[in-house]
């Protein structure tokens, strides 16, 4: 198994120096090795973070002995051992035990038809030299990223991170104004679009094929399918408990130590309970303003399962430099301050010698952890995928709040017709809202060469829970009902009933005074780059009113700062 960065060019006559330039920009994702394949019409590159099979047998690019097929792969295929016997019966002789080699042969034998059978987190590019075609795909839930763009003469450029697409000079870092507006209104950009014009994200559960200069994209998995089918018998605590346990155990596979992101909450608590063992290390976060602290609860719970939790602190003076560095890794404006907290946790884990952390990410969007699900259960009115009426008047102070043109969330909503209100919202959230949290986990973890795994997004587990009726997840009794029932006997009652405490890094105090406020003033109040598309007078007025006591403006102030940092970091043009 290998976490890494991948880059590729299909079409034309790729040159080594341009592929090397792309790979160099994702090298932080895989500091343990590097490889490239150049052939007629293709160039594929990989940087490797070795977790299983660290020797030469796991190196990439990986080729079949006859040279026809070549694979670069970023991910973990958790069920690859179950899929090997069929290949061996067909005569495949494996050189090692990596999942990369398993995937290479599965694709060689079955092509895109094998994708629905894969259980893992992955993004890959697979080249067929005989047919001169490229197949690329992402995992079902979108844990691992893949971006692409069209270069000169129709060439396909793809990479794990957006910045690598700029390396050949064929794609320029130009702002997509309408998508940036969506970021300001919703704190994320839904669907396949990005803040950069001309750069596309391959959607979760989708694959891309490139042949004869043409790109085609298709879906192979959708979270709404299981919700439509249902599981027949309703929630069974024992079965759900078993699925969570199996997911955690699968994702512990590694030849290196595995740590845990510990918050003391229900989601990370279930992960900790099934992963806990003497000597395992956990990490919690306390914010610079000392208004958010998850460590007391995390330690109290984790120690029951043998996990020793370390507190991660971030000094206020370090935030400006960390913001600039995190922006380079994230590729787009940092939408929420807790991205910096995740970066700090990953850095602490890497400093402790860890390459893998387990996280409770995704629990809210699968099990129904937000108040809106409770509201929908009692009053199934218009779900929350519409316009953000709270943010709109704030954004309109410096940017005429024109209609948002990215309609992806509305397309997702249309696909959920016929589901109950809670499940409709959950499926839409899994395809939209969840994705920016997964981007945070991937970018901030891989910035430090740390893979963050997400057992609660294990495919069999998600399919089972999505098939439950909405009332099994949220209702008058509260949120995450089925997971709470499954946790009985596993976690202490206090941990099960503990009020939700979202992973956060409160930023309002830091934006009012101190190093972060000084950075905002320096960048935004004197000829900001944002002044090319926004009203500088409106920006200055918003900061003035925020610091005069309009506390609710801090999220918009944060986005203005991080977008300015982004435009300067990538020299974004309008």
- Which has the higher per-residue pLDDT, 458 or 276? 458
Beta strands (DSSP E) in 90-232 are 120-128, 133-138, 147-150, 156-159, 200-201, 206-211, 214-219
| pLDDT at position 148 | 98
Residue 98's pLDDT is 87
Per-residue pLDDT at 565 exceeds 80:
yes
Give the pLDDT band (50/70/90) at residue 464: very high
d(CA 157, CA 255): 33
Q: Is the pLDDT of residue 290 over 70?
A: no
How far apart CA 71 and CA 104 sit, in angstroms, is: 6
Question: Does the pLDDT of residue 357 top 70, yes or no?
Answer: yes
| pLDDT, tens digit (0-9, with 9 covering 90-100), for 88-127 | 999 889 888 889 999 999 999 999 999 999 999 999 999 9
Read off the pLDDT of residues 10-52 as tens digits, 9 standing for 90 and up: 998 899 999 999 999 999 998 788 899 999 999 999 998 777 6
**Band of pLDDT at residue 287, cut at 50, 70 and 90:** confident
Q: How confident is the model at residue 252 (pLDDT cuts 50, 70, 90)?
A: very high
At residue 435, φ and ψ (nearest 5 deg) are -65, -35
User: Roughly what angle, to the nearest 10 degrees, separates helices 515-524 and 319-330?
Assistant: 60
What pLDDT shows up at residue 413? 87
- Is 90 exceeded by the pLDDT of residue 57? no
For position 164, what pLDDT does the model report? 98
Most confident option among 310-324, 382-396, 402-416: 310-324
Mean pLDDT of 142-153: 95
Looking at residues 257-265, what average pLDDT do you find?
Answer: 90
pLDDT digit string, tens, across residues 517-531:
999 999 998 889 999
pLDDT confidence of residue 286: 80
Question: Is the pTM above the cut of 0.85?
Answer: yes
Q: Distance (Å, rounded) from C-alpha 69 to C-alpha 85?
A: 21
Asked whether residue 173 carries a pLDDT value surpassing 70, the answer given is: yes
Q: What is the pLDDT of residue 53?
A: 66
Q: CA 31 from chain center: how many Å?
A: 20
The model's pLDDT over 301-321, given as tens digits with 9 standing for 90+, comes to: 888 999 999 999 888 899 999
Confirm if 135 and 107 have CB atoms less than 8 A apart: yes
563 pLDDT higher than 90: yes
Handedness of CA 431, 434, 440, 443 (dihedral sign): negative
Q: Cβ contacts of residue 192 below 8 Å, gap of 6+?
A: 200, 201, 202, 203, 408
Percent of the chain with pLDDT over 70: 95
- pLDDT above 80 for 154: yes
| Mean pLDDT along residues 556-560 | 96
Residue 86, both tokens: 């069929």
Confidence check: pLDDT of 504 > 90 = no
pLDDT band at 481 (very low <50, low <70, confident <90, very high): very high
In the structure encoding, which two tokens stand for residue 137, read together?
């795909």
Residue 296, pLDDT score: 82
Residue 507 has pLDDT above 90, yes or no: no
pLDDT of residue 442 exceeding 70: yes
* 317: helix, strand or coil: helix
To 10 degrees, what angle do helices 338-351 and 433-446 make?
30
Of all residues in the chain, what percent carry a pLDDT higher than 90?
A: 74
């Amino acid at each position: 198994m290998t976490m890494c960065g991948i880059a590729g060019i299909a079409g034309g006559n790729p040159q080594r120096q341009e592929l090397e330039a792309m790979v160099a920009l994702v090298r932080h994702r895989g500091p343990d090795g590097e490889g490239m394949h150049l052939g007629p019409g293709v160039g594929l590159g990989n940087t490797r973070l070795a977790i299983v099979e660290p020797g030469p047998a796991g190196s990439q690019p990986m080729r079949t002995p006859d040279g026809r097929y070549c694979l670069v792969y970023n991910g973990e295929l958790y069920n690859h051992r179950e899929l090997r016997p069929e290949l061996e019966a067909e005569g495949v002789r494996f050189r090692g035990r990596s999942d990369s080699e398993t995937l290479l042969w599965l694709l060689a034998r079955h092509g895109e038809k094998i994708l629905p059978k894969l259980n893992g987190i992955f993004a890959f590019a697979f080249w067929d030299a005989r047919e001169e075609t490229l197949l690329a795909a992402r995992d079902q839930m979108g844990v691992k990223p893949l971006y692409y763009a069209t270069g000169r003469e129709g060439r396909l450029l793809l990479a794990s991170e957006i910045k690598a697409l700029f390396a050949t000079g064929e794609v320029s870092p130009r702002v997509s104004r309408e998508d940036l507006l969506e970021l300001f209104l919703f704190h994320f950009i839904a669907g396949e679009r990005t803040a950069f014009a001309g750069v596309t994200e391959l959607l979760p559960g989708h694959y891309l094929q490139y042949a004869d200069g043409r790109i085609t994209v298709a879906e192979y998995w959708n979270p709404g399918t299981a919700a439509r089918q249902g599981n027949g018998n309703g929630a069974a605590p024992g079965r759900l408990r078993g699925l969570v346990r199996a997911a955690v155990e699968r994702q512990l596979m590694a030849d290196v130590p595995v740590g845990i992101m510990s918050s003391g909450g229900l989601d990370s608590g279930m992960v900790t309970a099934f992963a806990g063992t003497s000597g395992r290390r956990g990490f919690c976060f306390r914010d610079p303003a000392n208004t958010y602290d998850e460590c007391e609860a995390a330690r109290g719970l984790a120690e029951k399962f043998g996990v020793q939790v370390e507190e991660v602190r971030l000094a206020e003076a370090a935030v400006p430099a960390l913001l600039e560095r995190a922006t380079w890794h994230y590729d787009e404006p940092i939408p929420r301050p807790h991205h910096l907290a995740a970066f700090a946790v990953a850095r602490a884990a890497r400093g402790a010698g860890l390459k893998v952390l387990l996280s409770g990410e995704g629990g809210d969007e699968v099990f129904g952890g937000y108040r809106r699900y409770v509201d929908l259960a009692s009053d199934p009115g218009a779900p929350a995928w519409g316009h953000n009426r709270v943010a709109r008047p704030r954004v309109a102070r410096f940017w005429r709040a024109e209609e948002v043109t990215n309609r992806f969330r509305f397309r997702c909503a249309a696909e959920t017709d016929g589901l109950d209100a809670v499940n409709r919202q959950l499926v839409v959230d899994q395809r939209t809202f969840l994705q920016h949290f997964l981007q945070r986990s991937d970018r901030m973890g891989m910035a430090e060469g740390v893979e963050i795994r997400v057992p609660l997004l294990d495919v069999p587990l998600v399919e089972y829970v999505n098939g439950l009726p909405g009332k099994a997840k949220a209702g008058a009794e509260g949120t995450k009902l089925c997971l709470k029932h499954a946790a009985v006997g596993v976690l202490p009652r206090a941990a099960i009933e503990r009020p939700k405490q979202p992973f956060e890094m409160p930023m309002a105090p830091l934006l009012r005074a101190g190093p972060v406020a000084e950075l905002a003033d320096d960048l935004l109040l004197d000829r900001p780059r944002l002044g090319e598309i926004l009203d500088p007078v409106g920006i200055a007025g918003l900061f003035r009113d925020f610091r005069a006591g309009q506390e609710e403006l801090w999220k918009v102030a944060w986005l203005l700062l991080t977008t300015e940092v982004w435009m300067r970091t990538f020299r974004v043009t309008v």
